[in-house]
Structure 1
């Protein structure tokens, strides 16, 4: 199961590098007329190791009829970022019309925006939209060093002293507890960044007694503890072993092999693709934000869209039975 996608032809028309390891591509998209809200994402078709693949990226503010994405080059990625970095002006592909599952509510008296590294991509558009409407906001932005802070200059020009940046190399660290305690009761926080940042934010927000519905977050794909490795997955009732390549998700490998799967977000947030773990000969690398830390430690289930096994063989039970399918 997946959401409806409208694919359109797209062509690279410009390139820029807003940070040392980030490349921004702008595409002219055929027939794209409707505007998109901040926090939206698009799917793009790329070639990885000679095979077609689909990757998902946040869209950032751009001119009408165009879509822009900003992609960090990840050394341990499944090949998507490298494929995007190889694109040049004039190259053609296909992209979906933007969808939004990380929406601003427009109901709060004050908004706290938190970005970690390349997690700035949805936050950038939110900051622009909130500032344009005169909303009360503050943005905090952290990265390893300032050269890795994409869009820091336009954000500084837009927000002034409402933006505070933190560089780890300069010994600066974001104090989430202080940030949350300073918020009015009906404020909302929107956060995108590494898994550790999101988990810390959820824990502190929950301990503060604030409604969890007022903490909104989005995860990005570079959240693994280990580099991608090939592994085998066996499905109870299926009768054979399926290889999950290093540049492939377990969800894609299973669906390509004909195993019925339920899925939606493909970002480890909704939990629809979670399957039961029967056994594992390698270490499970949980990369989702759906399960709690305790659930990931106990290891009963795994989100097939993002999480992996660090080599070896994983046996799962999806509920699939060949005789039932027949």
Structure 2
């Protein structure tokens, strides 16, 4: 289980639209400290189908006492983005103090930043911080269309030739192997984007022979392989089966039902919420970046916070033993 989050009252004070289907919402947050590092994220309380829920978003560079998040209205959203898009100036909720698990090392001679779509949100803050400290930085930014590139104009002014846009509708895609080869030995790459981009980057980085400690990433969204579908989860040690809605994660469904779970990041990065798979009647959609492709193929474990069954039922072992809890 995770340590208790410290929630702070928050009120919407500004709403902007930096790109097609992207809304930037600024909150005045009570008791918020004045500064936080680029790549930080915050938790926010939302309401989905009339029920309270928690969603996590990157915090953009913000004025003291405020937190700004940029949210894409995603067709496969589990409800969080729809809630944020429905907010108006003056609306109130609660948010947590920003925390960072996607930190810049400040040790590299050159930085390569890679963003796919709304993955620009942590990368945008990193670019500003690196330029502000006079660091050598290049940003490659991919999106389906130019209209969907949030903060592109500002980043262009900031980075000049250090920014290169790759537009899918224009037939341009990343050449990761060439980008990685251009980095010096002590260079580092930071990447945020959809699951497929993360996998391609990890594979290209491994082939380059570079240390994996110098590739840092953050993932968001679905894998792109399957549409969201409801499924069920059976836990034999509890003798119960639980339903997981299409707009809900397995982790949320189980914790809401009172099942003890270990978890932390809720983004498929830390692996703490991984459960053992006993049996599955449907394909598994692994959306984490914790397990290797080989481990996902073996199908012995899955991260409850992001991964799903594609309909049907999956039987799992959470690792908890009821007998031990009764001692």
TM-score by length of 1: 0.98
Aligned pair count?
326
Q: Establish whether residue 55 from structure 1 lines up as the match of residue 84 from structure 2.
A: no
Contact preservation (8 Å) 1:111, 1:189: yes
Deviates more, 1:216-225 or 1:111-120: 216-225
Deviation at 1:224, TM superposition (A): 4.5
Match of 2:117 in 1: 117
SS state at 1:112 partner: strand
> Which structure 2 segments of 5+ residues have no match?
none
Deviations 1:10-62 (A, max 9, x none): 00011111110111100011111230100000000011000000000000011
CA distance in 2, matches of 1:222, 1:310: 12
CA distance in 1, matches of 2:3, 2:293: 28
Match of 1:206 in 2: 206
Contact preservation (8 Å) 2:60, 2:68: yes
Q: Map 1:1-326 onto structure 2 (within 5 A).
A: 1-326=1-326
CA distance in 2, matches of 1:112, 1:3: 34
CA distance in 2, matches of 1:105, 1:51: 39
Contact preservation (8 Å) 2:223, 2:285: no
CA distance in 2, matches of 1:264, 1:321: 20
Deviation at 1:322, TM superposition (A): 2.8
CA distance in 2, matches of 1:254, 1:224: 24
Deviation at 1:4, TM superposition (A): 5.0
CA distance in 2, matches of 1:69, 1:3: 23
Contact preservation (8 Å) 1:259, 1:320: no
RMSD (Å) for aligned C-alpha atoms? 1.1
Deviation at 1:292, TM superposition (A): 1.1
CA distance in 1, matches of 2:3, 2:193: 24
> Which structure 1 segments of 5+ residues have no match?
none
Contact preservation (8 Å) 1:224, 1:286: no
TM-score by length of 2: 0.97
Q: Which runs of 4+ in 1 moved over 3 A?
A: none
Deviation at 1:321, TM superposition (A): 3.1
CA distance in 2, matches of 1:280, 1:38: 40
Contact preservation (8 Å) 1:44, 1:54: yes
Deviations 1:141-185 (A, max 9, x none): 001111111110110011111100000110111100000000111
